[in-house]
Structure 1
Amino acid sequence: MRGLMSCYSELAVQVSDKSSCSNYKTVSNSVSLSSPKLIPSIQTAVTNIYKTTLSTGISHVITVTWCRNSTAHGLQINTGDDPTTAFRLNTNSGLFRKKKGNKAFEINDSKYEVFYDLSAAQYGTGAEPVDGYYVVIIVDSELGLFLGDMSDFKKMKSYKQVAKFDLISRRECFSGNTLYSTKAKFTGAGSCHDILIRCTGDDDGVNVKSPTLTVCVDKRVVIRVKRLHWNFRGNQTLFVDGLQVDLMWDVHNWFFASGSESGAVSGPGSGRAVFMFRTRNGLDSRLWLEDLVKMKDEKQEFSLFVYATKS
């Protein structure tokens, strides 16, 4: 098995080991990836899925979705497999515009309470706030999940039990051009990595008859797919922070989906592409899982999905 793993590793792209650069190229000219001709896409929504384990050993899945449009930001919270949105906040709605407060609800015999303060939230270019906010979720009297600046949460000290929670999946939606930029941590103890996805023609977007897909991690090209209209689905294995990470792409709808199939207003070329980065523990776990998150007892896996719509 060790020989098989060694052979498999030689075929994969090493990202964290900078001393071995034969499998990838360093992006020496940032202009080549961020040309003025190509305006970066806008992040319209982010969905984070957390696994919370209470002191009793009982686990809960909490989904937190941040969304934005031209005039407002929104927040939604769901738990488990319940499709009903348990908590909703829209900064531009007369019904849900209260930016500070709390809400209690009960799902599947578990009691939840959400404390939030977005009154001074600061946003960057993305959908989720970057500073000046907090969101705290209490599950069965335990502090189950906290996001933002906890120093502003006055009731923090009153909760003696603090559950363990992990980010197990992140989904980001973009709209605009074919340049997508994000960050990801593939393990809790690892560092944050810059990810850049770009699709252009050979002549920087002019020669659209020969589109090329380029994916960079920390300014290093990990894949370059030419003739993308023929190679619209594929995968590549990376090694990041000592972990195997499967990179998979599906851009079929960019080229072949009609407006009705893709949900877009226009015809072919307006569909949604999907890019997935997924850590795995072994050679036998290479699966494409868009909507299913498996809860396992062993080392927790992490998935990043980038949904990209051309407009």
Structure 2
Amino acid sequence: NKSAQCTVTCVYHAKLVGMCRNVTAVWCKNLINHSLTITVDCPGNENHYTCKIDFKPWHFWTKKGFKPFDVEGKRVDIFWDLRSAKFSGSPEPYMDYYVAMVFDEEVVVLLGDYKKKAYKRTKSRPSLIDAVLVYKKENVFGKKCFSTRAKFDQRKKDHDIVVENSLLGPREPEMWISIDGIVLIHITNLQWKFRGNETVLVNKMPIQVYWDVHDWLFSTPSGHGLFIFKPGAPESLEDKYAAKEKFSLFLYAWKIE
């Protein structure tokens, strides 16, 4: 599925133009282009406001810039600097960059770790209400190994997540899920356990892990597996209605031959 290739989608809750909204950032990369599309929703109706930034690989100057766009008649500015950005196979950088969304002299959404540089360049103050990352979806491609990075606690560092499989050969199919180099889930007889869930501990924090790899085993050779990672212990029904929205990572692992 070429349309799914090399994309990372992140959804943030942020206060912008007088109300809390979903702000969606979609990183996309192919052989000839690298882009970031930022979409702001409008609660109560289906309007969306979009700003697309193209980082052309052969144009160094496009990796730093500024672009205004309109949200409900109000001006919102996007500043970015990816000149030193580091990547690890994903269209989303993992360090040495910033993308800042500014409204009314406040940085309402800030992506990346170059925070001081972002505040200095935009000449804006931090928002009184921090934007919260609530959802991340990534499409990764591989034969046996699929990797991504995610923060389970927004105040702490990224974790390295790796899914490996052994589907061919004389042995029964197996799967391993590792976080920060430690195998936390090992599934044998995968043909019988292609869907499931477990709760694991990462730095004493419970993480719920769900998987569905039916298409790896029984569908087309290029089928995908779905993995969901959610911080926190499984909730009771009462907790589900009382709890605030928590972060979830959806990892689509596409097999290529």
**Taking structure 2 as the reference length, what is the TM-score of the superposition?**
0.78
Q: Distance in 2 between matches of 1:162 and 1:66?
A: 26
Match of 1:217 in 2: 179
- The structure with higher relative contact order (CA 8 Å, sep 6+) is 1
Aligned pairs for 1:1-311 (under 5 A) are: 44-53=6-15, 58-80=19-41, 86-92=50-56, 98-108=62-72, 111-148=75-112, 149-153=114-118, 154-159=120-125, 161-201=127-167, 205-207=168-170, 210-257=172-219, 268-280=220-232, 283-284=235-236, 298-311=243-256
The one-letter code sitting in structure 1 at the alignment partner of 2:14 is T
Unaligned ranges ≥5, structure 2: none
User: Which structure has the greater CA radius of gyration?
Assistant: 1
State the aligned residue count: 244
Closer, same or farther: CA 188–250 of 1 in aligned 2, 3 Å = same
Q: Deviations over 1:217-254 (max 9, x none)?
A: 23332222222223221111123344432100011222
Closer, same or farther: CA 99–85 of 1 in aligned 2, 3 Å = farther
Deviation (angstroms), 1:200: 0.6
Q: Report runs of 4+ in structure 1 exceeding 4 Å deviation.
A: 81-85, 108-111, 296-300
Q: Distance in 2 between matches of 1:232 and 1:108?
A: 46
The one-letter code sitting in structure 1 at the alignment partner of 2:227 is F
The one-letter code sitting in structure 2 at the alignment partner of 1:221 is V
Query: What's the secondary structure of 2:90's corresponding residue?
Result: coil
Q: Deviations over 1:131-167 (max 9, x none)?
A: 4532110245531012232344444334475541122
Q: Distance in 2 between matches of 1:72 and 1:300?
A: 34
Given that 2:222 and 2:254 are in contact with CA atoms closer than 8 Å, whether structure 1 keeps it comes out as: yes
Q: Deviations over 1:152-184 (max 9, x none)?
A: 444433447554112222222111212012232
Deviation (angstroms), 1:276: 0.5
Closer, same or farther: CA 211–236 of 1 in aligned 2, 3 Å = same
Unaligned ranges ≥5, structure 1: 1-42, 258-267, 287-293
Q: Deviations over 1:68-126 (max 9, x none)?
A: 223432211112376857122233499xx944332222335664221223345443332
Closer, same or farther: CA 229–111 of 1 in aligned 2, 3 Å = farther
Query: What's the secondary structure of 1:48's corresponding residue?
Result: strand
Q: Could you say what the CA RMSD is over the residues aligned between the two structures, in angstroms?
A: 3.3
Deviation (angstroms), 1:279: 2.1
Q: Distance in 1 between matches of 2:184 and 2:196?
A: 13
Given that 2:105 and 2:123 are in contact with CA atoms closer than 8 Å, whether structure 1 keeps it comes out as: no
The one-letter code sitting in structure 2 at the alignment partner of 1:196 is V
Sequence identity of aligned pairs in percent?
31
**Taking structure 1 as the reference length, what is the TM-score of the superposition?**
0.66
The one-letter code sitting in structure 1 at the alignment partner of 2:30 is N
Given that 1:54 and 1:163 are in contact with CA atoms closer than 8 Å, whether structure 2 keeps it comes out as: no
Deviation (angstroms), 1:191: 4.5
